[in-house]
Amino acid sequence: MAYNYLELVNQVNRKLNEVELTSSNFATATGFYAQVKDAVNSSIRNINQTEYNWPFNHVTQEDVLLENEVRYGFPFDAKTVTMDSFRIKEEAALNVSTKKLKQLSYEEYLEKFSYYEYSEDNSQSGVPVYVFRSPGEEYGIVPPPNEDYTVVYEYYRIPVDMENYDDVPEIPERFKHVIVDGAMHHAYLFRGNTQDALVAKERFDDGLKSMRSLLVNRYDYVRSSMIIRPSNSSSVI
């Protein structure tokens, strides 16, 4: 059984004792069936809106820098950008090794380095050292590159709605029941069945808690700094 938009919609249809759609009539579905399609997308949007950093929305981005250019735009689908992840990618042809960039606040950039953007003297360009985030949807590199280096960074995307019958959600298949429960909530509301809608919402919320527990609530290992004295000593620092 395929894990795609069509199958998710048909799971809702089966639960509601409705005729299933096919790949041939999926795009032209109207009335209640169009509402079920919307319900599936609404459920997925609800899931994505409850947590910024779902790992299935994680993206590693590579941008090629331009000589003497300071500012660059973020991807159109970026929700949150991990500024601490910026690094220059190793490239033997450019004689550069992988190097993590240090963060600057925007205020510090304006005070100390903003002259780079307006100077016609390119002799101060070089291998980037710092990265800053501007108030707009862009980041900046200091000093401006003297070569077309590649910068790598990570962000969490804003997923788009599914449209075609064979579109596959970013959400892992093992959580498809959560998508279906959320879609059932919206479908029952459309039918005016408030009681069943509330029950479906409870199941959906429980599924979200489980997803957070499995995918988000992670704890890094902490190494103890306690110094244990030899066995003939009774003190511990």
Do 32 and 94 belong together in one domain?
no
pTM summary value: 0.81
Note the pLDDT of residue 237. Answer: 45
Residue 221: inside a domain? no
Residue 220: inside a domain? no
How do residues 56-98 score in pLDDT, each as one tens digit? 999 999 999 999 999 999 999 999 999 999 999 999 999 999 9
Do 64 and 150 belong together in one domain?
yes
Instruction: Give the residue from 124, 156, 188 where a domain finishes.
Output: 156
Instruction: Provide the residue range defining the domain that includes 181.
Output: 5-52+171-215
Residue 228: inside a domain? no
How do residues 109-146 score in pLDDT, each as one tens digit? 999 999 998 888 778 899 999 999 999 999 999 999 99
Do 12 and 29 belong together in one domain?
yes
Do 38 and 26 belong together in one domain?
yes
Do 195 and 128 belong together in one domain?
no
Do 146 and 93 belong together in one domain?
yes
Q: Where are the alpha helices (DSSP H) in the chain?
A: 5-15, 31-49, 106-112, 176-191, 194-215
Given a cut of 60, whether residue 228 has pLDDT beyond it is no
